[in-house]
Chains A and B, each alone.
Chain A
Amino acid sequence: MEFAVLLGTPLIGALVFAVGGAGRRAPEANAACSLITFAAAVALAVRIVAGGSLTVAHEQFFIDPFNVFLVALTAFVGFTTSLFSRPYMRVEMKHGRISAGRLRLYHSMYQLFIATMLIALTTNNLGLLWVAMEAATLSTVLLVTLYRTPASLEAGWKYFILCGVGIAQALFGTILLYIAAEKVLGADGVSALLWTHLNAVKGQLEPRVLSLAFVFLLVGYGTKVGLAPLHNWLPDAHAEGPTPISAVLSGLLLNVAIYAVVRCKVLIEGSLHSSLPSRMLMGFGLLSVSLAAFLLWRQRDIKRLFAYSSIEHMGIIAFAFGMGGAVANFAALLHMTVHSLTKSAIFFAAGHAVQKSGTQVMDRIRGLMTVSPTVGWGLMLGSLAILGMPPFGVFASEFLIVTTAMRDQPWATPILLLALGVAFAAIFGRVQSMVFGETTARRLPHSPALLPVFVHLAIVLMLGLFIPPYLAGWYRAAARLIGGG
């Protein structure tokens, strides 16, 4: 029941908005849809945490503590982003950057995007997972090009082609997995792609084909995660699309993609009895962290800056999942949560900053504190949080990851610490001058509504100081499911 509401609401919403239903009240209806989805996600999460995993619709969908936590997170950020996007898109319309027709497209695709992510998270069928991931790309391509500027078209094209090619690799990986699975589970064509069935027989799958499959799956879904060197689409797509879309791309889509990688890793590692998948994840992770940290220095555009920061954090998460084991998985899950909350909060604040100053170039954004203290503080606190300053939650998860690395993979620790330091210096310097720099602009008469920013940051702060036992138990159950290490 909750499940039907969870997937049905955004799908119906997408359809209604597409035909222009809800008319002028579309922004409010969009938020309402997202609220219903969020309520369903919470109800589902409560049920799973109380009653354990469950399969729906002839085992095509499967919900366990690992994915229900991401479902809840996705629905929550989807809801707060819809709250943020209501006033934001209204201002964009007033500035003449988009027309009413495009706003309709925006709302429809927004709901469709949320729906595809929820399907990708909850499906038990690895083929459907692929289909949903591709649909998530397709639904956001037209959102990235919403402004129709040359730069946004270029970003959209890059996004489409790179993710298209990437996802084709993932399809090949899925086919290979199916070939191996069919040997064990039989060719009735039903169960051989179901994750739960595969997980039960993972020890018997042919290791050589599976290691090949993992390479393709990692490269394929890794492109969507934005792991270096396949990250080229990410900064462009984030910088050129409307800010609410940057927030959900960074906060949610990357999480969903990394979820797909981890689901596949669990299967394949169980069959290989070797650490190849772990080592590959760690390698790609470290490469992304270090490359992104140094590229951060060269950014001049505020949204590109934080897009590179997303690549860095995805690298950290991939590295942590690569290490595996209860503590590292716990830390990676925590990091996914806090990164997605913090990064979307930063994009909300940055979006307002850009709207106020009329430019995305950081050198020309100055004195946010004078212009609007709420935006200034939002951006400052968000940046401090994402840089891993205590007492925010990012500190807790990064601390756990670094200490686990010291114990399990000591060679990687200096690289991680160096990259984190470089990233800190790069982002902090930029944000400081944007927030506190001298400006001639006058203070805004009324401050923008930034409730979502501070709600997100408050949750991140709480997770840094105190993780409720209920939540901690939930994380632990998910970490156990992922295993490894």
Chain B
Amino acid sequence: MNATFAKSARAALLGALLTASAGVLAHNPMAECKPAADKEQIQCTGGFSDGSGAAGVTMDVISYDEQILVPGKLDKDSKLTFKRPDGEFYVLFDAGPGHVVEIDHVDIQ
């Protein structure tokens, strides 16, 4: 076996050891909302902490008295745009039981 091969094999092994990690990939839901350019609209984005998107996932805009104002689904870019409702409301990113993110209207500014 030639020395060059042994050397490159050692370098590859060292590289593999240095880059290997036992990191845990969490899958927590995440969402953020911000006013769109015209201030009348709000754009919300959903996703997961492992970097995956949330196309088609439910995102509802709900008033404080639990009326669903905008029943929404995230588009292919994991986004939902809607007109800012009057009164107090919150946005609920709902990826299933126990996988929700709630954003209050006072936090959208």
Q: Do A and B come from one complex?
A: no
Chain B positions near chain A (C-beta within 8 angstroms): none
Residues of A within 8 A of B (CB): none
